[in-house]
Amino acid sequence: MANLKLSQLPAAAQLVGAELVPLVQGGQTKAATLTAIANMRRGAWQLAQLEAPWIAFGDPFAAPAYRNDGSRVYLRGLIKDGAGGSTAFRLPAGLRPPMRHLFACISDRNEPTRIDITATGDVIVVQPLSGTVQWLSLDGIAFCID
């Protein structure tokens, strides 16, 4: 088989994630699916613990959550009933940016909506400056933690 040309190799079946592959973990060889290996790196979505008065918008939208994917953190979900200048939730240690980040996002307001994420993990709705936000999307917010 060492002298075969690439064109002589049999076609491989497409992988779907359920196939078992060997994995060395803690010095032992184990079997894992490709999906499980991807999820180890990616991390599961964790629900954000919202601070009052912010609450989850509810169905049919995703609950506010965050996920670690290697050196990046992603946010998702729809929140409502809070006000500008307030903290919506705090990210846990290890999932915080090294410095403050600013993000433009969409909301029900007919004015710019800004979210800041601080080095202490606070997810702050900075703008709008007044009034209640009827809905605000966290989808698309992502940042590096290294």
Q: Tell me the CA distances in angstroms from 50 to 8, 55, 71, one per residue in order.
A: 58, 6, 24
Q: State how far the Cα of 35 lies from the Cα of 121, in Å rounded to an integer.
A: 29
Count of structural domains, the chain: 2
Confidence (pTM): 0.73
Do 107 and 133 share a domain, yes or no?
yes
DSSP for 40-97? HHH---EE--PPTT-EE--TTSPPSEEEEETTEEEEE-EEESEETTEEEEEPPTTSS-
Say which residue the tokens 């919506």 belong to.
Answer: 88
Domain that holds residue 27: 17-44
Query: Is 34 exposed, middle or buried (CB count within 10 Å of its CB: 0-12, 13-18, 19+)?
Result: middle
Do 79 and 35 share a domain, yes or no?
no
The per-residue pLDDT for range 11-20, each reduced to its tens digit, is: 666 666 677 7
Residue whose C-alpha is closest to residue 79's, from 103, 102, 47: 47
Do 58 and 33 share a domain, yes or no?
no
Do 86 and 119 share a domain, yes or no?
yes
The per-residue pLDDT for range 82-112, each reduced to its tens digit, is: 998 999 999 999 999 999 999 999 999 888 8
Do 73 and 125 share a domain, yes or no?
yes
Q: Which two tokens stand for residue 144?
A: 């590096």
Is the pLDDT confidence value at 25 over 80?
no
What CATH number should be reported for the domain holding residue 57? 2.60.40.1830
> Looking at residue 21, what is its pLDDT?
73
Do 60 and 32 share a domain, yes or no?
no
